[in-house]
Amino acid sequence: MKKLILFSLLSGAVAIEAQNAGSALSSYTDIMPDTLLNYVLAPYTNETYSVNIFPADAMNDIELTAHGAASSGGSSAYIKVTSINPNVAIAFGRWDSVFTISSSTWNVTKVAKPLALGAPINGAGTVWDNTVLYLTDQSGSGGGNKNVTDWVGGDKYLGLKYQNGSNITYGWLRVRCKSKDSCYVKDFSSGAASTGIKEQVKSEQLIYPNPVNNVLYIKDIDVTALDLNSIRMIDLLGNEVSVVSEIRGNQVTINLAETLPGCYIIQYSLSGKMYVKKIIRN
């Protein structure tokens, strides 16, 4: 099961942390299936994946690259992220360096900052960079071999900033690098912070029955504006629970037959806006 946004239930409402990695902002996209980027040194590998995080510009914002190549002079082996939108910057983490004996110089790497779930995207002292940063780097030549593994192990979040004049918006991209040469790209979110979202949805929308036994309905919505893939059932530990959703006429049916009894959050996106509702499964 995939870990999604962690929700907390406070006084009958769902509160979502704002401007934090993993929090639901005004636009959310789950990459299904997760996209794998990986490299091997031989033969030559160069895989790329571009994504539009911020919908304000009709262009891709960042590009991830997994690159591997080896020769008699050394090797280049890394996974990097590049800003390809002049309005988008990436959170910088640290400098890494290795001394190259053959040339008596330092070979440096700019490492992207790996954010943990819930960490502020624009925390105090955040440095923004709109060039190329690395998630992993194992390149080597002339007796100097890098070993950048900051992003290896578990889910980590890339902090992103969009600025066009005085308009500033933040976002994140979640990746899981299972090893130095393989990273899964999982989901992303951007836009205005969604703070203190109440569990009630729009008055014209009806989610019933609640409590529910086997089938939950979302009624009286514009199904053409619904992202069916955005429908999520999440338990109180933040785990996604598998459900089957279908559009039938002007309503959506969600089959909960395989769901254990308990308290859950139902989440869905309509016209680019996210809605959440607490439900009880009998």
The pLDDT of residue 192: 58
As to burial, measured by CB atoms within 10 angstroms (0-12 exposed, 13-18 middle, 19+ buried), residue 38 is middle
SS3 10: strand
Query: How far apart, in whole angstroms, are the C-alpha atoms of residue 187 and residue 174?
Result: 5
Question: Which residue is listed with tokens 């806006």?
Answer: 273
The pLDDT of residue 142: 65
**Partners of residue 109 on adjacent β-strands:** 96
- The ranges of the chain with pLDDT < 70 are 1-18, 73, 102-103, 142, 192-204, 236-239, 272, 274
Can the peptide bond before residue 55 be classed as cis, meaning omega within 30 degrees of 0? no
Q: How many CB atoms lie within 10 A of CB 28?
A: 24
For residue 116, what are the CA distances in angstroms to 156, 167, 195? 6, 26, 19
As to burial, measured by CB atoms within 10 angstroms (0-12 exposed, 13-18 middle, 19+ buried), residue 12 is exposed
The pLDDT of residue 158: 98
The pLDDT of residue 193: 45
Domains in the chain with CATH codes = 8-16+196-281 (2.60.40), 25-193 (no CATH)
DSSP state of 86: T
* CB of 111 closer than 8 Å to CB of 49: no
With 0.75 as the threshold, say if the pTM is over it.
no
The single-letter code of the amino acid at 53 is I
Residue range 244-267, pLDDT digits in tens: 999 998 899 999 988 899 888 887
